Amino acid sequence: MSAGRSTFTILGAGGFIGAALVAWLESQEQMVHPITRASLPALLAGRRPVGHVIDCVGLTGDFRVRPLDTAEAHVGLVAHCLGELQFESFLLLSSTRVYGRATTTHEDAALPTLPSEPSDLYNVTKLAGEALCLADPRQTTRVARLSNVYGVGMPAETFLGQVLREGSATGNVVLREAAASSKDYVSVAAVVRLLPAIATAGRYRTYNLAAGSNTSHAAIARCLHSIAGWRVDFTPDATVVGYPPIDTARLDTEFWPTGSNLVADLPTLA
């Protein structure tokens, strides 16, 4: 992040990442305007300078049953912000899920989607929001693709959030994805430090924000059994859900690696 005091406007300040980002920026004595669903209309109507905008608004687990809300959050809101806000920079939070059908995870990779597949609605709308940002002539309009963000207070509807909630309640967890399944997990502590740096000083328009290596479900199961004594089972018909490792060379070179290690951090979460 650039030296001195800057003004940040955080959209979705009531969510997991948004709230953590507001807390971090305030601890760094930055000027912060937290924007929630209730205060968003006034922000858009005000048409006043808003500094560096970081858009943390999005739907996750319930996007399949709320397609219109998903489109509004991922595309409509972005269009309104780009057209109506006076900003120094605009950073849209997207997701590394957009690489689900890709052959490589570099930021400039071609990203196929299948619109007829309900689970692709998330990717299609995220990519539409990204396209609006990257079509904007202002070079300070950027995109950050985040992998699975973990930390205290993470949403219960995420995979890891569900596992921790079930284990805390019963001491037993049953996973419907095979032990060999794996994902990239990035800590919210790393995310909130890197997002302002990308927003204020990024040389590129798109960044992957991820650990850069995957953690298997088997490793998570072993760790939870070791630190909490939970029993973690896998259903007999569990399928392997694999995601390719995320390319973080751009982030690592220009800024710094996230240093995220989910297994090492699990004792603070379980």
Residue range 209-236, pLDDT digits in tens: 999 999 999 999 999 999 999 999 999 9
237 CB-contact burial (10 Å; exposed 0-12 / middle 13-18 / buried 19+)? exposed
**Would the pTM count as exceeding 0.85?**
yes
For residues 157-170, average pLDDT = 94
What average pLDDT does the structure give for the chain?
A: 94
Task: Name the more confident of 102 and 157.
Answer: 102
Q: Using one digit for the tens of pLDDT, what is the confidence trace for 22-59?
A: 999 999 999 999 999 899 999 999 988 999 999 999 87
Q: Which amino acid is at 5?
A: R
Q: Judge whether 2 and 201 are in contact, CB under 8 Å.
A: yes
- Per-residue model confidence (pLDDT) at position 14: 95
* Domains in the chain: boundaries: 7-149+186-209, 152-182+213-243+261-265
209: which 2 tokens? 């924000």
For residues 73-79, average pLDDT = 96
- Per-residue model confidence (pLDDT) at position 106: 98
- Per-residue model confidence (pLDDT) at position 189: 98
Q: Which fold has domain 7-149+186-209?
A: Rossmann fold (3.40.50)
Helix (H, G, I), strand (E, B) or coil at 1: coil
For residues 177-187, average pLDDT = 97
User: Could you tell me how many residues make up the chain?
Assistant: 270
Task: Name the more confident of 63 and 81.
Answer: 81
Helix (H, G, I), strand (E, B) or coil at 59: coil
- Per-residue model confidence (pLDDT) at position 2: 45
Q: Judge whether 223 and 259 are in contact, CB under 8 Å.
A: no
Residue with tokens 């939070």: 93
Task: Name the more confident of 243 and 184.
Answer: 184
Measure Cα distances from 59 to 16, 165, 186 in Å.
12, 20, 18
The answer, yes or no, to whether residue 84 has pLDDT greater than 80, is yes
Q: Judge whether 63 and 70 are in contact, CB under 8 Å.
A: yes
- Per-residue model confidence (pLDDT) at position 93: 98
For residues 97-113, average pLDDT = 96
- Per-residue model confidence (pLDDT) at position 242: 85
The answer, yes or no, to whether residue 60 has pLDDT greater than 90, is no
How far is 228 from 166, CA to CA, in rounded Å?
A: 12
How far is 247 from 106, CA to CA, in rounded Å?
A: 5
| Chain Cα centroid distance, residue 18 | 10
How far is 245 from 28, CA to CA, in rounded Å?
A: 32
